[in-house]
Amino acid sequence: MPSLSPSRAADFKACPLRYRFRAVDRLDEAPSAAAARGTLVHAVLEALFDLPAPERTPDAAVALVPGRWAAMLAERPELATLVGTDDGPDEQAWYAQAEALVHRWFTLEDPTRLEPHERESRVEVEVDGLRLRGIIDRLDVAPTGEVRVVDYKTGRSPSERFEGRALFQMRFYALIIWRSTGRVPDLLQLVYLRDAQVIRYSPDEADLLALERNVRAVSAAIERAHESGDWRPSPSRLCSWCDFRALCPAFGGTPPPLPPRDGVTAGSGDLVLDAVDL
């Protein structure tokens, strides 16, 4: 069954070749210190809610950092090479940056007044033969029933020009929730920790129906690319940060031969889901 996540849908919309490298070829991407820091901050904010509400203080959150980092290293030992080595940032400075992001979150939300309904929640729904999937950082449900979807971002908030692109992920989650529960979430909230900004958006059924049509169009375009083998690049300013530049024809590279279809890639199967979107 075709399956799509917001991250891979956004990949294809931005650059079909980047989508191919990630979802079809499944090429490895070099881990970065910034991405690891983002994952660490997400883990800390998730674990903080295991504490009783009165104990959810900035100091308690910062105290979780070493333990969460140790757990990450136990799962992925290669991350140790990202920090405190000749090729990576100074370990003390890297920890300080992570702690600063955690502290900044407390200026935006008060965890002593929050009891999340779900954290790091995997959600999915099938809509007319297309499976939509994702991972939600936090889902809040008020005593009066209102639903809020929250996502943490450790990067900088986008300009108004790119705000709609940033909200695509959140609207995707809202679509999954609506189609699986029958209720449109009341509020979508993006929390940007680098510059302490919050973007809020209230979707409605018309908005989510339009998104559903868009997602179907993306899925159909992915299937056509699979059938034709045409995964053309879409050069943009984002190319500067792409791990696949050396393989991209737009920069003189040559993509590897396409692997045989095995029913696992998006457009015809399951996708690897991104836990963190910086």
Q: What's the whole-number mean pLDDT along residues 156-164?
A: 88
Q: What's the whole-number mean pLDDT along residues 234-238?
A: 92
Is residue 198 pLDDT above 60, yes or no? yes
Under a CB-based contact definition with an 8 Å cutoff, are residues 39 and 275 in contact? yes
Q: List, in order of start, the domains of the chain with CATH numbers.
A: 1-24+116-242 (3.90.320.10), 33-111 (no CATH)
Is residue 248 pLDDT above 50, yes or no? yes
Residue 177, pLDDT score = 98
Rounded to the nearest integer, the mean pLDDT of the chain is 91
Is residue 272 pLDDT above 70, yes or no? no
Q: What's the whole-number mean pLDDT along residues 103-127?
A: 97
Q: What's the whole-number mean pLDDT along residues 31-59?
A: 96
Helices (H), ranges, 182-267: 205-228
Is residue 173 pLDDT above 80, yes or no? yes
Is residue 277 pLDDT above 90, yes or no? no
Under a CB-based contact definition with an 8 Å cutoff, are residues 199 and 167 in contact? yes
Residue 262, pLDDT score = 62
Is residue 120 pLDDT above 50, yes or no? yes
Is residue 63 pLDDT above 90, yes or no? yes
Is residue 87 pLDDT above 80, yes or no? no
3-state secondary structure of 225: helix
Looking at the DSSP bridge assignments, the partners of residue 131 are: 3, 126
Looking at the DSSP bridge assignments, the partners of residue 135 are: 122
* Percent of residues, the chain, with pLDDT higher than 90: 80
The CA distance from 269 to 203, in Å, is: 28
Is residue 270 pLDDT above 70, yes or no? no
Instruction: Kindly state the DSSP code that residue 55 receives in the 8-state scheme.
Output: G
Residue 275, pLDDT score = 34
pLDDT band at 268 (very low <50, low <70, confident <90, very high): very low
Is residue 49 pLDDT above 50, yes or no? yes
For residue 247, the one-letter residue type is: L
Residue 234, pLDDT score = 96
3-state secondary structure of 139: strand
pLDDT band at 278 (very low <50, low <70, confident <90, very high): very low
